[in-house]
Chains A and B, each alone.
Chain A
Amino acid sequence: MKHNQFKRFTITLLTLFTAWLVNAQSVTVSGKVTDDNNGEELIGVAVSVVVDGQTTGTITDLEGNYTLSCNIGDILTFSSLGYEEQKMRVGKNPVINVAMVSNAENLDELIVVGYGQQKKESVVGAISSIDNKPLVETAATNITQSMAGRLTGVQVVQSSGEVGNDEASIYVRGTPTFGNSSPLIIVDGIMRESFSQIDPNEIQSLNVLKDASATAVYGIKGANGVIIVTTKRGRVSKPKVNFSFKTGIAQPTRIPEPIDAYRATMIQNMREITGGTYSSPTNTSQDLMLYRTGASPYTHSDYAWTDVVMKDHSNTINANINVSGGTESIKYFISAGGFNQNSIYNYDPHTKFTRYNFRSNFDIDITKDFKIALNVGTRVENRTRPAAVWNNSWQIYRGAFAYSGREAPYLNPDGSLGGTASVRTNLIGVIRDGGHYENIRSVLETGIIATHNLDFITKGLKVKGQIAFDDQATNETRYAANYQVFEYDVASNDYTGYNEPVPLYYTWGNVYDTRKLYGELSLMYNRTFDKHNVHGMVLGNRDIKRIGTNQSTQEMPYASQGIAARSTYNYDSRYFVEASLGYNGSENFPAENRYGFFPAGAIGWMLTNENFFKETSLSNYLTSFKVRASYGLVGNDKIGGERFMYLEQYENSGGALFGTGNNWYGGIRKPRIENANVQWEVGRKTNIGFESNFFNGLLIFNFDYFYEYRDKILLSQQNTKPYYVGAEFSAANVGIVDNKGFEFDLKHSNRLSDDFNYYINANFSYAHNTVIQRDDPALALAYQKQAGYPINMMKGYEVIGVFEDYEDIENSPAQIAALGGLEGNNHVYPGDLKYKDINGDNVINEDDATWIGYPSVPEIGYGVNFGANYKGFDFTMLVQGAARASFPKNWEIQNPFSNTQNALEHHWNYWTPLTAGDAEYINRFFMDWKNNEPSGGRSTFSVGSGSYVRLKSAQLGYTLPDPVAQRLRVSSVRFFVSGLNLFIWSEEPYLDPDNRQLRGGNMPPTRNFDCGVNIKF
Chain B
Amino acid sequence: MNLNRIKAIVAILTAIIAFSACDKEVDLSGDITGIWQLNATLEDGVDIPLADSTKNTKIIFKENGLYQLYSANEGITRHGTWLFSPDDRLDMSMDRKNNEDRHKFSAYEPCPVVFLINEVNSQTLEIKHRNTSDERKRFVMFTTMEDEQSYTDLQAAIAAETDIDQKRILERQLMDMDQKMTTYTFTFSRINP
Contact = CB atoms under 8 A, between A and B. Distances in A.
Contacts of B87: 918
Contacts of A263: 83, 91
Given A830-B181, A913-B181, A914-B114, A280 B66 contact: no
Interface stretch (A4-12, A285-293, A298-306, A875-883): A285-293
A806 B181 contact: yes
B89 A915 contact: yes
A792 to B, nearest CB: 38
Contacts of A830: 132, 181
A267 B83 CA distance: 13
A872 interface: no
Contact of A281 (B111, B132, B176, B181): B111
Nearest to A283: B110
Nearest to A285: B110
Contacts of B179: 805-806
Interface in B2-36: none
A289 B112 contact: no
Contacts of A281: 109-111
Interface in B110-133: 110-112, 114-116, 128-132
B100 interface: yes
B80 A288 contact: yes
A262 B132 CA distance: 26
A285 B111 contact: no
A448 interface: no
A912 interface: yes
Interface string A248-270: 00000000000000110011011
Given A805-B181, A830-B132, A269 B66 contact: no
B93 interface: yes
A463 interface: no
B168 interface: no
Interface in A881-925: 912-915, 918
Interface hub of B100, B114, B115 (most chain A Cβ within 10 A): B114
B189 interface: no
A289 B81 contact: yes
A918 B116 CA distance: 12
B193 interface: no
A912 B66 contact: no
A280 B99 CA distance: 9
Interface string B41-66: 00000000000000000000000111
Contacts of B176: 806
A511 interface: no
A26 interface: no
Contacts of B180: 806
Interface in A289-339: 289, 292-293
Contacts of A283: 110
Nearest to B129: A914
B98 interface: yes
Nearest to B81: A292
A273 interface: yes
B112 A269 contact: yes
Contacts of A805: 132, 179, 181
B96 interface: yes
A262 B83 contact: yes
A724 interface: no
Contacts of A289: 66, 79-81
A804 B181 CA distance: 9
A284 interface: yes
A292 B66 contact: yes
Nearest to A269: B111
Contacts of B96: 273
A915 B114 contact: yes
B183 interface: yes
B86 to A, nearest CB: 12
A455 B188 CA distance: 103
Interface residues of A, number: 26
A266 B80 contact: no
A278 interface: yes
Nearest to B93: A288
Contacts of A284: 109-110
A278 B100 contact: yes
Nearest to A804: B181
Nearest to B138: A273
A543 to B, nearest CB: 64
Interface in A813-840: 830
A881 to B, nearest CB: 31
B67 to A, nearest CB: 10
A672 B100 CA distance: 53
Contacts of B130: 912-914
Given A263-B83, A293-B66, A280 B109 contact: yes
Nearest to B180: A806
Contacts of B100: 278
Interface hub of A266, A269, A918 (most chain B Cβ within 10 A): A266
A285 B93 contact: yes
Given A292-B66, A293-B64, A806-B132, A266 B93 contact: yes
A269 B181 contact: no
A840 B33 CA distance: 53
B79 A278 contact: no
Given A262-B81, A806-B179, A913-B131, A292 B64 contact: yes
B111 A914 contact: no
B174 to A, nearest CB: 13
A914 B109 CA distance: 22
A905 to B, nearest CB: 12
B65 A293 contact: yes
A504 B114 CA distance: 51
Contacts of A914: 114-116, 128-130, 183
Contacts of A285: 79-80, 93, 95, 110
A804 B132 CA distance: 11
Contacts of A266: 81, 91, 93, 112
A289 B62 CA distance: 12
Contacts of A269: 93, 109-112
A805 B100 CA distance: 19
A85 B112 CA distance: 75
A273 to B, nearest CB: 6
Contacts of B80: 285, 288-289
B46 to A, nearest CB: 17
B57 to A, nearest CB: 19
Contacts of B89: 915
Contacts of A288: 80-81, 93, 110
B112 A292 contact: no
Given A293-B65, A806-B179, A278 B99 contact: yes
Nearest to B99: A278
Contacts of B131: 912-913
A888 B130 CA distance: 33
Contacts of B110: 269, 281, 283-285, 288
Interface string B170-192: 00000010011101000000000
Contacts of A270: 111-112
A914 B183 CA distance: 8
Contacts of B98: 280
Contacts of B95: 285
Nearest to B101: A278
A285 B99 CA distance: 17
Contacts of A262: 65, 81, 83
Interface hub of B64, B81, B115, B183 (most chain A Cβ within 10 A): B81
20 contacts: A263-B83, A267-B112, A269-B111, A273-B96, A273-B109, A278-B99, A280-B109, A281-B110, A284-B109, A285-B95, A289-B66, A292-B65, A293-B65, A830-B132, A912-B130, A912-B131, A913-B130, A913-B131, A915-B114, A918-B87
A-B CB proximity, top 7 nearest: A806-B179, A913-B130, A914-B130, A292-B65, A266-B112, A292-B81, A805-B181
Given A281-B110, A289-B66, 10 more contacts: A269-B111, A273-B96, A273-B111, A285-B79, A285-B95, A289-B81, A292-B65, A830-B132, A912-B130, A912-B131
